[in-house]
Every structure is written in C-alpha cells, then in structure tokens.
C-alpha cells in the first residue's frame, strides 16, 4: 500500500486465551508500539476481537504484521483467502503458546524471517526458518532495505539459486546493508550484486536501484507528465525504480495531472518552491529537472506532501461493517481526530500515528484543527461513527471550510474526501429484517443544535406522511423528556400496534435488538446508544424463532 512503511507498521500479537499471555508480553517487549489482541470472551488484552478468522483477515488486509499464538494450521486456514496478492503480504508468524516454537508463515518480502529470528532470540529458541537463501546468507537478498528497489524479482530468484548452487558474488556500488551478510564473496566472481540507478540489463547480475533520483516538474500544465518523466529518465539512462519522488511548486499542489503522474510512477509527490538535493547533479530534459544524489533520498525530507483530509465513518462498531476505503484511509493516516470513544474504535495504530481524541461537543474546533494539520502537508483522518454525513463530522468539516474559504487559502489546497459508512439506522434495520424497505426518514431528536419546535413540526409531518422514522440521539442525561414527547406526537397519528425496533450497541460488544410496538414501548428501554425505528402503517413482522421476529416494510403500498 502506497505510503505505508511496513518497517514501522505496528505488530499485532494475537492470543486466544490466558495461557498465551506471558509469551505474548515477552514478544511485545521487543516491538515498541505493538499490541496484544485477545479474544474478547476469554482474555483481556490491549485490543479485543470477537472472532479469530475475521480478525486475522482484517489485520492482514491492513498490512499489519501478525504474530499469532496458536497453531500454524489455524492461521493458514484463516488467511488462506487473502493470500493471492503477494505484493500486499505482511509478515505472518505462528508462535507456540508456551514460547517453544516460532514458525514464519508468509511475508518473505516483508521480513518475516527477520522477525522469526528476533522473536526466537527473545524466547531463547531456534526459529523454524525454511527459506534456503535465508538459511545460507542470514538474510533475504531479494528484500533490500527502504530506499532501495530490486530491479526484477524473477531474475533475483535465479541469482539466489545460482549462489545456492555454489557461485560466489562481488558487490559493485554501495550496499551497506550487506556488510554483515554471510555471502560467498570473491573479488573475481562472475556474478555481481550491482547497486546503481542506471537502467539496463545486467546479465546474470543482481541489480538493485538506490532510490536516489528526484524529478522536478516546474510546469505541470503541458504534456503527459508521466511520459515526460519516463523520457527524461531514459535519456539519462536512469531506471524508473531509481526515482524517489516527483517534486513540483506549491502552486500546483491541487493539480490532478501531477497526482496521476505520481501514482503512475508509484512515487510520492512532494511540493516545494525550490529543488534542493544535497550533493546531487542536475540534468534537464523536456522541462523535467532530474537531480541525482549519490545515496537514496528520503522523500519526506523534500518540501512537503499535499495535505489530505479524509472524513470517514467507522460503521456501527465492528470491523466487518467498516468499508475497506475507510480502513485504507486509517492505515495511511498521520493524524487521527475524533471523539475519544470512536478514535479508540478506529485502532490499533502504528507508532508515529498521532491520535487526537477530544470531547464529543467540540466538533467545529476539531474540524478546524483537522484543516490546520492537513494544510501543513499531513495526512489527516477525522472519524465519526456510522456514516460521517449522518449527524456527524462531514458537515462540520465542510462548514469549517466554507466559513474560512477566503481567509485560509492553504485549506483549499487540501485534498478533501468523504468516505461513507454504515449508518446506525441501516445496521439496526439489517439486524431486524428490512423495516426501511419503503420510504423512511432519519431524524435526530437532539435539540442541542436546533429548536425543539422544529423537531415537533418534523415529527408531525413525518407521522402524517406515514414515513418509517429512524430516531438518532433519542435521549441523553441532559435531554430526559424529549423522547416521551416525541412518542406522544407519533402516537397521535399511528396505531398502538405499530412496529418499533430498538437497536442498542449494534455491531459492538453486548449488542441487543428488541422488537416491540408503539403502545408497549417505554422510554426507559432507550438510551443514547440506542437507535429507535418506528414503523409505518404497513410495517409488519412474523416469527423468526421462539424468541424473535423478522420485521419488514413491504416495497409496495395500498
């Protein structure tokens, strides 16, 4: 995943029960920022999960390195369906509960064997390494460190086979990470490991490109930028994989053409009003200036990124009900802002991710803070529960931008996106059946931000229109009487036998679902974590089993 540095990704240590906790904590001590994930029903750990398979797949999809303290078979079966995409592969290891064995399973290019060695050392055991190259050389030659790119994986595999078959190698160029590798080296070897930004075939050699070239695009307005950069690289005999970043002036920060080019070239896009590359030579062609340094360039040291602000919905609570785009946004975020409770639901986080939890009522302040961080070039995510556009942060963020449009030009350059989520009404409806199967409305019963008289008028109109109604924010300690008043109004228009669905903590631990009727409903069955769905005249139910019923509203009308 672009932008996620796997070297710093937070390790998830997953346990099924109390018996594994000691070993888990010993492993945790060698990975700063790692968290122990425990099966909610059996053990208390740093992060709770409900079902092992789903949880492992979820972590895997986020690119989180996984150390699972259970049998290798269980882990393999759990992640089997995710294994097709080899590029997205985080390291996954199985460790025996009692700490007597560590088995690297997948994630060779993500450093799984290195982790196996580290864990083995901490537990005082031998790792079960099965990769021949790794066994012989003590490291994976095909997984150069950050700042370097292997030119060709298939070709690399052949090179490793040649070494395993007894050939020696020499090293051309600077490969400091190989200093301590147990490679068979010989100055006159036929094979070479070549570290160079130059393109081109290398015979049987292993070619590794240092990412030491930066392309400056002074004018983004003409031509196909990707092609111009590729051409410039080719003209100077530089490999596309040696490219560390595209750089452009701040004024072009919102250019889509630049963003597309950076995406196509698979490099970060940075903005700066001058190109400074220490000790580099500069070459120009096609209006593209290439700066070539003699060492890998860390793109984060050049100018800054275009800031990003993504407003996401976490869904009602469980990870399965969070949309993948929201998970991806969280994985890439530098800063995560939101109400404490929701921010906690959005974890686990990597070291380096900054979490800003605030009080629920400070929405405008949080929105402005988000823009301030994003306009510094940071990648910011604002979290809401459910859908961010339903009584939540998306409208506050847009209101902040609208208000500051003329005063804060830097906010306009921020790449703003809203990612939808499963709203509480939809999640509750799905649990109950399909009460929203026909026309419905969503109302917040909170009179914090609107006068109560408006709420009463809307309730009357909705009731008269025979709409199914979904009530958000039905009660709170500060608003004790409002729900009863609302129900009195609805009862003026609807029969006592009207179906009512109460969903509490849907998708969260301790979730409950009650189906009742308008006459039986008591306001003490409802709290601020409850969604109230009041049926229309056509909403009906039938038994599902001995204890519950399906509730639905037919799609047609008489």
Which positions touch ligand SAH (CB under 6 A)?
A: 316-317, 384-387, 390-392, 423-424, 428, 472-474, 503-508, 528-531
- Minimum distance from residue 505 beta carbon to ligand SAH (Å): 5
- Minimum distance from residue 321 beta carbon to ligand SAH (Å): 9
- Minimum distance from residue 363 beta carbon to ligand SAH (Å): 11
Half-sphere exposure of 449 (CA within 13 A, CB side): 12
How many residues appear in the chain? 558
- What distance lies between CA 262 and its chain's CA centroid? 20
Q: Which is nearer to ligand SAH, 239 or 486 (CB)?
A: 486
Closest CA to 508 of 58, 64, 48, 56: 48
- Minimum distance from residue 469 beta carbon to ligand SAH (Å): 12
- Minimum distance from residue 427 beta carbon to ligand SAH (Å): 6
Q: Which is nearer to ligand SAH, 257 or 323 (CB)?
A: 323
Q: Which is nearer to ligand SAH, 72 or 502 (CB)?
A: 502
Separation between Cα atoms, residue 119 and residue 26, nearest integer Å: 9
Q: Which is nearer to ligand SAH, 252 or 387 (CB)?
A: 387
Separation between Cα atoms, residue 365 and residue 400, nearest integer Å: 9
Determine contact, residues 57/79, Cβ cutoff 8 Å: yes
- Minimum distance from residue 48 beta carbon to ligand SAH (Å): 16
Q: Which is nearer to ligand SAH, 260 or 447 (CB)?
A: 447
Separation between Cα atoms, residue 313 and residue 334, nearest integer Å: 17
Cα-Cα end-to-end distance for the chain: 52
- Minimum distance from residue 303 beta carbon to ligand SAH (Å): 36
Instruction: Work out whether strand 269-271 and strand 281-285 pair parallel, antiparallel, or are unpaired.
Output: unpaired
Tokens coding 402: 């609208």
By beta-carbon distance, which residue lies closest to ligand SAH?
386
Instruction: Work out whether strand 288-292 and strand 213-217 pair parallel, antiparallel, or are unpaired.
Output: antiparallel
- Any idea which residue has 């006592």 for tokens? 496
Q: Which is nearer to ligand SAH, 240 or 347 (CB)?
A: 347
Residue 284's DSSP bridge partners are 289
- Minimum distance from residue 529 beta carbon to ligand SAH (Å): 6
Determine contact, residues 11/31, Cβ cutoff 8 Å: yes
Closest CA to 384 of 443, 349, 341: 341
Q: In what order do the strands lie in the sheet with 433-434?
A: 433-434, 549-552, 540-543
DSSP annotation of 338:
E
- Coil, strand, or helix at residue 47? strand
Q: Which is nearer to ligand SAH, 89 or 363 (CB)?
A: 363
Q: Which is nearer to ligand SAH, 149 or 381 (CB)?
A: 381
Beta strands in 379-517 (DSSP E): 379-384, 415-419, 433-434, 440-444, 468-472, 499-504, 512-517
Separation between Cα atoms, residue 436 and residue 532, nearest integer Å: 12
Q: Which is nearer to ligand SAH, 460 or 529 (CB)?
A: 529
Q: Which is nearer to ligand SAH, 64 or 446 (CB)?
A: 446
Q: Which is nearer to ligand SAH, 127 or 474 (CB)?
A: 474
Tokens coding 394: 């998306």
Separation between Cα atoms, residue 88 and residue 41, nearest integer Å: 31
Query: CA-CA distances (angstroms) from residue 268 to 3, 51, 301, 306?
Result: 8, 36, 12, 10
- Minimum distance from residue 63 beta carbon to ligand SAH (Å): 27
- Minimum distance from residue 475 beta carbon to ligand SAH (Å): 8
- Minimum distance from residue 452 beta carbon to ligand SAH (Å): 17
């Amino acid at each position: 995943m672009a932008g996620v540095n796997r070297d710093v990704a937070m390790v998830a240590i997953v346990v099924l029960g109390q018996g594994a906790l000691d070993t888990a904590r010993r492993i945790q001590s060698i990975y700063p920022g790692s968290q122990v994930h425990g099966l909610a029903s059996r053990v208390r750990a740093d992060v709770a999960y409900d079902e092992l398979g789903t949880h492992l797949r979820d972590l895997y999809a986020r690119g989180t390195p996984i150390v699972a303290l259970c049998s290798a078979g269980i882990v393999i079966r759990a992640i089997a369906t995710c294994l097709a995409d080899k590029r997205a592969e985080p390291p996954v290891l199985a460790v025996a509960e009692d700490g007597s064995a560590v088995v690297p399973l997948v994630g060779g290019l993500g450093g799984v064997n290195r982790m196996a060695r580290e864990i083995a050392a901490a537990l005082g055991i031998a790792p079960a390494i099965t990769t021949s190259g790794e066994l012989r050389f003590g490291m994976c030659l095909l997984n150069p460190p950050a700042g370097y790119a292997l030119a060709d994986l298939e070709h690399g595999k052949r090179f490793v086979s040649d070494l395993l078959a007894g050939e020696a190698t020499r090293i051309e160029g600077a490969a400091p990470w190989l200093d301590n590798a147990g490679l068979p080296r010989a100055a006159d070897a036929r094979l070479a490991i070549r570290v160079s930004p130059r393109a081109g075939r290398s015979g049987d050699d292993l070619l590794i490109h240092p990412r030491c070239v930066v392309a400056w695009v002074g004018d983004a307005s003409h031509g196909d930028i990707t092609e111009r950069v590729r051409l410039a690289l080719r003209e100077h005999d530089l490999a596309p994989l040696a490219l560390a970043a595209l750089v452009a002036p701040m004024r072009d920060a919102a250019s889509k053409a630049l963003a597309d080019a950076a995406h196509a070239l698979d490099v970060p896009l940075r903005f700066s009003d001058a190109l400074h590359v220490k000790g580099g030579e500069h070459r120009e062609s096609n209006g593209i200036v290439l700066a070539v340094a003699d060492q890998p360039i860390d793109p984060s040291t050049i100018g800054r990124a275009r800031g990003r602000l993504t407003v996401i919905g976490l869904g009602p609570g469980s990870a399965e009900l969070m949309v993948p785009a929201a998970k991806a946004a969280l994985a890439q975020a530098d800063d995560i802002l939101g109400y404490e409770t929701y921010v906690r639901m959005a974890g686990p986080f990597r070291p380096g991710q900054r979490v800003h939890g605030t009080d629920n009522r400070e929405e405008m302040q949080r929105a402005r803070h988000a823009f301030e961080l994003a306009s510094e070039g940071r990648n910011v995510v604002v979290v809401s529960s459910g859908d961010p556009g339903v009584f939540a942060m998306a409208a506050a963020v847009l209101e902040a931008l609208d208000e500051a449009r003329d005063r804060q030009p830097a906010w306009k350059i921020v790449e703003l996106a809203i990612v939808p989520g499963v709203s509480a009404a939809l999640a509750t409806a799905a649990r109950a059946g399909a009460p929203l199967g026909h026309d419905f409305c969503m109302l917040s019963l909170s009179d914090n931000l609107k006068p109560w008289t408006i709420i009463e008028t809307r309730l009357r109109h909705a009731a008269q229109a025979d709409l199914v109604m979904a009530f958000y924010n039905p009660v709170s300690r500060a608003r004790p009487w409002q729900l009863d008043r609302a129900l009195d109004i609805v009862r003026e228009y609807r029969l006592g036998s009207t179906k009512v669905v109460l969903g509490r903590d849907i998708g969260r631990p301790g979730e409950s679902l009650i189906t009742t009727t308008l006459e039986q409903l008591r306001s003490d069955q409802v709290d601020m974590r409850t969604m109230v769905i009041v049926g229309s005249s056509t909403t009906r139910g039938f038994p599902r089993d001995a204890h519950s019923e399906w509730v639905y509203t037919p799609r047609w009308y008489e």
